[in-house]
């Protein structure tokens, strides 16, 4: 295989593209590659929402302090390379291809999922780049996620909401049990959920992980509003500061760099303003917890014109829950078909929106360009367009509205 696209296509067709939780496969391959014991601190970030923002803030602050930071996040929006970044810059195609080749050589007859390939590639790239610290964003759940192969020197659980119920369970207690799996005995865990399920504290006590709980052990008092939209970002920032304090002996960070890092952080696709007149906000809100944060921000920051939605979401999400929350702040719905086995047609999604009691106009499209063209023609300059739901919505709109580099 000669290109990154070749490798990714091969993984998608040759191996397990579906989610398959469990650490046995990736452990055996990592052991063969001598990747099990990492020579630098590891910060693992789990949670239903807020993981990406938390990783971005950690990365920015540590970079300003002069550390070389490896950050692994998922999914990507525009390019696969976004998942594996050194000092916030995606690594090269060549670096990822080299990592994939090393993994393929080591795995022998072990089948790996797409996500496991990526996770091993990230850690391989970080060691090749001689990073000082690794920040890992959990892909799904925690306990059996590939990122949980490595012991976190500090774990962060940002929030616990209902999502991925087919994999994690349908209650906050069941989901909390999975998130709690990233804790380690004797290692601090920072929980940013103000009212976490009881399993979080119980599991921390059971294994002897010092728990720092938002609202009890720390708050957002005195934390500046980060340069990310949304009131919840101060709460996320408080988790970031508290997590960094736990590693102060190994990774000291100045108050000035914390402040500067929060003030200068950026993150693609999370309440991101990408266009003016009309204002366009893109956000990956695809569950009720995230929709509440988005709706609250829209209510708190009204504009004079209409608010148009460009929306789509995967079939296995809580569509009714998201629609019920967002319908209070939207004047029109422009619904786009997605592709894939978890997707809905725009007509099927429009029917679900109507079934939720939405009375305002709903329009359907086969692609994002058509939806944008229609909205742009009808929106006044003082209007607002909110493109939200699946990551595919955000990536589709970014491809249209944000000029690409390279």
Confidence of residue 405 (pLDDT cuts 50, 70, 90): very low
pLDDT of residue 22 exceeding 90, the answer is no
Domain layout of the chain by residue ranges: 4-264, 272-401
Q: Quick one: average pLDDT of 46-72?
A: 97
CB atoms within 10 A of CB 391: 15
Q: What is the CATH class of 272-401?
A: alpha beta
**What is the side-by-side strand order in the sheet with 42-46?**
89-90, 84-86, 69-72, 133-137, 42-46, 154-157, 189-191, 211-213
pLDDT at 169: 52
pLDDT of residue 181 exceeding 50, the answer is yes
**pTM of the predicted structure, to 2 decimals:** 0.91
Domain with residues 4-264, CATH architecture: 3-Layer(aba) Sandwich (3.40)
Residue ranges with strand state E in 27-161: 42-46, 69-72, 84-86, 89-90, 133-137, 154-157
Alpha carbons 62 and 166: distance in angstroms, whole number:
36
Q: pLDDT tens for residues 291-316?
A: 999 999 999 999 999 999 999 999 98
Q: pLDDT tens for residues 32-42?
A: 999 999 999 99
Report CA Rg, the chain: 21
User: Which residue in 190, 196, 170 sits closest to 318, CA to CA?
Assistant: 170
Q: pLDDT tens for residues 388-402?
A: 999 999 999 999 998
């Amino acid at each position: 295989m000669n290109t990154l696209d070749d490798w990714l296509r091969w993984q998608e067709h040759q191996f397990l593209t579906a989610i398959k939780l469990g650490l046995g496969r990736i452990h055996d391959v990592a052991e063969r590659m001598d990747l099990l014991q990492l020579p630098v601190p590891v910060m693992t970030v789990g949670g239903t929402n807020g993981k990406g923002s938390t990783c971005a803030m950690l990365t920015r602050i540590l970079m300003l302090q002069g550390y070389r930071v490896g950050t692994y996040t998922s999914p990507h929006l525009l390019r696969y390379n976004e998942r594996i970044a050194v000092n916030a810059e995606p690594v090269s195609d060549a670096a990822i291809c080299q990592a994939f080749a090393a993994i393929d050589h080591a795995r022998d007859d072990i089948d790996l999922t797409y996500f496991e390939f990526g996770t091993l590639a990230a850690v391989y790239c970080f060691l090749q780049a001689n990073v000082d610290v690794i920040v890992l964003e959990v892909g799904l759940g925690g306990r059996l996620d590939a990122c949980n192969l490595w012991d976190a020197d500090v774990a962060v659980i940002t929030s616990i909401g209902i999502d991925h119920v087919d994999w994690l369970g349908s209650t906050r207690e069941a989901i909390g049990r999975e998130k709690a799996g990233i804790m380690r005995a004797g290692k601090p865990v920072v929980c940013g959920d103000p009212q976490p399920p009881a399993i979080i504290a119980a599991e921390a006590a059971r294994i002897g992980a010092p728990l720092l709980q938002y609202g009890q052990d720390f708050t957002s008092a005195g934390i500046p509003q980060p340069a990310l939209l949304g009131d919840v970002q101060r709460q996320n920032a408080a988790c970031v500061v508290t997590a960094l304090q736990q590693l102060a002996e190994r990774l000291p960070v100045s108050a000035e760099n914390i402040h500067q890092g929060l003030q200068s952080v950026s993150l693609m696709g999370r309440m991101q303003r990408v266009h003016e007149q009309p204002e366009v906000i893109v956000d990956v809100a695809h569950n009720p917890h995230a929709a509440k944060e988005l709706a609250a921000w829209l209510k708190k920051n009204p504009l004079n014109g209409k608010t148009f939605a460009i929306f789509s979401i995967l079939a296995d999400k809580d569509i009714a829950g998201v629609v019920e929350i967002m319908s209070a702040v939207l004047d029109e719905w422009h619904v786009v078909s997605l592709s894939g086995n978890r997707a809905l047609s725009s007509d099927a999604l429009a029917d679900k929106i109507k079934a939720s009691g939405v009375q305002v106009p709903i329009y359907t499209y086969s692609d994002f360009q058509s939806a944008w063209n229609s909205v742009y023609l009808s929106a006044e300059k003082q209007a607002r367009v909110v493109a939200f739901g699946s990551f595919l919505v955000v990536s589709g709109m970014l491809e249209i509205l944000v000029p690409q580099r390279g």
